[in-house]
Structure 1
């Protein structure tokens, strides 16, 4: 049966089926973001209802010990994104320093090529570290919203300003067709590349959407985050992509090359037009990009990973300590190498949906379909409880996970430079997000129907004040430290 399925994917093109790959690229971004937003809503509900984070969601589905693997998958992905954002933050500092000093703009590089970074970039990176670490230490997660509101205005003004200057200086947006790659493929190949693009976008954002309960746990009501979860990502990513396309198209005619990265684009502008107006404009643009990078890294990578690290070793690590440890390790990893010297590594990262989508579907199915949103919260922290399963591992979840993920591995290995495989295996890799989500989620649900786990329909709440809570889950939310370490002082039991 497997060979027949693979053969069915080997569609042969005809001569009249060829078209440009670029016609589908825009839709990939939008569809991928819509899928990630839906995943954010489904996974974020656990935090809004129970006021507990991603670690407990993983424990309920994979077991107390089994959750460690799933959590570490997200931590690893965030670690890489954290490092790249640190590097971009350093580049934003370079833009600011270039605008303030002509000598810094022309600073000689004293580092060897093997370092993977130049002297000005290293200076900017160190300055970004000095700015970023106090934010980690002195801005608690529940107070970051007021900074994000200001940052929204700053980021919008910055991106619109960059686009406006590029269009004005060029006398128009340029020929958008020049951004298209001169590649013609069959309709079959285009279709699978479209699905691969959606897989890449959805897989990239799914790590963050899986862990959104780390933030929805602070919600004032169950439905407070819903509208933002479902609409914010598709709208903002689409608008930012549109701004980026227009700015890049105009700048390409000005500079003679296509440059999608705004921090590199601004440095090229400084090297070409170092006028007083250019210095002032790039200073504020660099300041805006710096602000954006700080809070993207804080909310998307550092704080959530700090919570996850605290879940892994709660006796020794709090959320703050976890964030600091994560940040220090990210610096020591020389993160600029992720972008400057590791093309294969970037391919691996863009294909992370191979590993993330099966886990995401299992979390959703477990919370919504298997447990019907009900948890025995004290047992989430108790060895031998209903989430202990088999030696702390839920064999149902791991069986479903590996059977949903393993089919995409041959194509994944080929994509990162491994030996060639048949086109059928590669097709599965191209649709790995959908394939893994459907297979793992469906198989996990079937295994739970055939072998029901203990405690289904059981709801046990907690309260940190030592008072029995007779109401529904989420009516009393614990402190941050308690939610991470599970120090429940009393419980109230309600059977469905």
Structure 2
């Protein structure tokens, strides 16, 4: 099955750059004249100043110790990170609404999308999916630490959508409430905090510092487990003889710098294109994985063969590659590419149908890839996998048998020590 190892450095780099913007807010609160204190030696084409790059390096340096914490020991840190950002969002919402005054809401809420409003809404939804696509693909890296399958399901089915809707609603309301005040729509929280400090006094700078610190902590709680460690999982699974989790995470962090994330988020248009590109390329991966688990393997997993023994196991396929997966991925990706290219370069003209396929690329890519993956396994079945699925008991029974075996093995190990 496909993995997201190739996408992790880009996602990691973008999130780390946003974290650097949050650190920049903290430094700006302490030294308002930071841009003059740190002379700029960066060319305009980079889309950043030397001071911004220094803030990015500070965020990376603060993140490194967290990368070396074992995943199962990150729970308390993640609790603190999540609670901090929720509190900040509530405070920002109250402040924006209470201090809005006669200026009222800006056009963010009342503006009409015109004849294409429906497709623009669909594109907004898919872009949001793209922002979380890497997390969707790698959620099993962390759901396996849950105490029971039910806990993992509830976290994704209830916790994720509730917070996502809450966060989006707060973002829209805060942006609309401050649009007339600052004369523009400030969608990025670091930019909003900078505007607050620029238009206020010492108290505003203090608020900006604590807001930037909360955002930095939150960004670290998102970036390290969801991107750096997730990339480490993928690399360790791909090259277990040479790379462990920490080495893989370190490689992902270093590769993220080579992706030039400051270029990817230079403008809002480019940033949205980057987010939507995740949907174009990762959606088909998700489709193949869902199809593999639900359709091909019918939720029956031979756990011991996930870690190849001497005879390679049933998931070894052809020379270690299941060729059906990349074929399904290509089939899911190709229909969205013309619209994606036209979105990146307006000079490229494509039929409107391709543009609309691109607007819903996560949905179309996932569906096409899932169907093609299942069809290829039906026409060209993997004999060992099909035999196991046909002879294995029901998924629930199989899970209980594995649990009983593991508990027995664990008890034997405890008895011998």
Task: Specify if TM > 0.5.
Answer: yes
SS in 1 for 2:300: coil
User: 1:218 pairs with 133, 145, 151, which one?
Assistant: 145
Instruction: Give the counterpart of 1:352 among 278, 295, 301.
Output: 278
- Residue 176 of structure 1 and its aligned partner are, at CA, apart by 4.6
8 Å CA contact retained: 1:252, 1:259: yes
Between the aligned partners of 2:128 and 2:180, the Cα distance in structure 1 is: 28
- Is 1:268 matched up with 2:195? yes
The alignment's C-alpha RMSD in Å is 3.0
Q: In the superposition, relative to structure 1, how do residues 258 and 304 fare at CA in structure 2: closer, same or farther (>3 Å)?
A: same
Tell me the distance in 1 between the aligned counterparts of 2:125 and 2:406: 37
> How far does the alpha carbon of each residue in 1:279-324 deviate from its partner, in whole angstroms, 9 at most, with x for none?
2212211111111011111121111111111122211110011111
Shift of the alpha carbon at 1:260?
Answer: 0.8
**What residue in structure 2 maps to residue 123 of structure 1?**
54
Matched, 1:92 2:22: yes
Equivalent residue for 1:416?
344
Query: Which string of whole-angstrom CA distances, capped at 9 and with x for unpartnered residues, describes residues 160-208 of structure 1?
Result: 22222233333378225355556422xxx33333333333322432331
2:333 to 386, 405, 409: 405
Q: Distance in 1 between matches of 2:359 and 2:253?
A: 33
Name the structure 2 match of 1:439. Answer: 368
Post-superposition shift, 1:259? 0.7
What SS does the aligned partner of 1:131 have? helix
* Residue of structure 2 equivalent to 1:207: 134
> Number of paired residues?
397
Structure 1 Cα separation of the partners of residues 16 and 8 of structure 2: 12
TM-score scaled to structure 1, two decimals?
0.72
The 2-side partners of 1:345 and 1:247 are apart by 20
Q: Does 1:314 align with 2:233?
A: no
| Aligned position for 2:76 | 146
The structural deviation recorded for 1:220 is: 1.9
CA distance in 2, matches of 1:374, 1:342: 44
Is residue 291–residue 374 contact of structure 2 (8 Å, CA) maintained in 1?
A: yes
- Note the C-alpha offset of 1:408: 2.5
Q: Work out which of the residue numbers 378, 385, 388 in structure 1 matches 2:313.
A: 385
Alignment check: 8 A CA contact 1:167 1:173 kept: no
SS at match of 2:321: coil
Structure 2 counterparts to residues 37-436 of structure 1, below 5 A: 58=1, 70-71=2-3, 74-104=4-34, 107=37, 109-112=39-42, 113-137=44-68, 139-171=69-101, 174-179=104-109, 181=111, 183-185=113-115, 189-273=116-200, 275-340=201-266, 343-344=269-270, 346-380=272-306, 381-382=308-309, 384-417=312-345, 419-436=348-365
Aligned with residue 402 of structure 2, among 465, 473, 482 = 473
Q: Going by fraction, where is helix more abundant, 1 or 2? A: 2
Instruction: Look up the match of 2:410.
Output: none
Q: Is the 8 A contact 1:173 1:249 kept in 2?
A: no
Conserved? CA contact 1:199–1:432, under 8 Å: yes
The CA deviation at 1:384 is 4.9
Moved more, 194-203 or 361-370: 194-203
Please state how far the C-alpha of 1:441 moved relative to its aligned partner. Answer: 1.8
How far did 1:102 drift? Answer: 4.1
Could you tell me which runs of 5 or more consecutive residues in structure 1 were left unpaired when the two chains were aligned. 1-57, 59-69, 462-468, 479-488, 490-496
SS in 2 for 1:248: helix
Q: Find the aligned partners of 2:9 and 2:268 in 1 and give their Cα distance.
A: 15
Q: Could you tell me how far apart the structure 2 residues matched to 1:338 and 1:87 are?
A: 9
TM-score normalised over the length of structure 2: 0.85
> How has the CA–CA distance of structure 1 residues 446 and 340 changed in structure 2, closer, same or farther, with 3 Å as cutoff?
closer
Q: 1:280 to 1:402 in 2, by over 3 A?
A: closer
Instruction: Give the Cα–Cα distance (whole angstroms) in 2 for the partners of residues 227 and 369 of structure 1.
Output: 23
Q: Distance in 2 between matches of 1:200 and 1:125?
A: 25
Work out the CA distance in 2 between the residues paired with 1:193 and 1:103: 40
Report the more deviating stretch, 152-161 or 396-405: 396-405
User: 1:76/1:345 Cα in 2 relative to 1: closer, same or farther (>3 Å)?
Assistant: farther
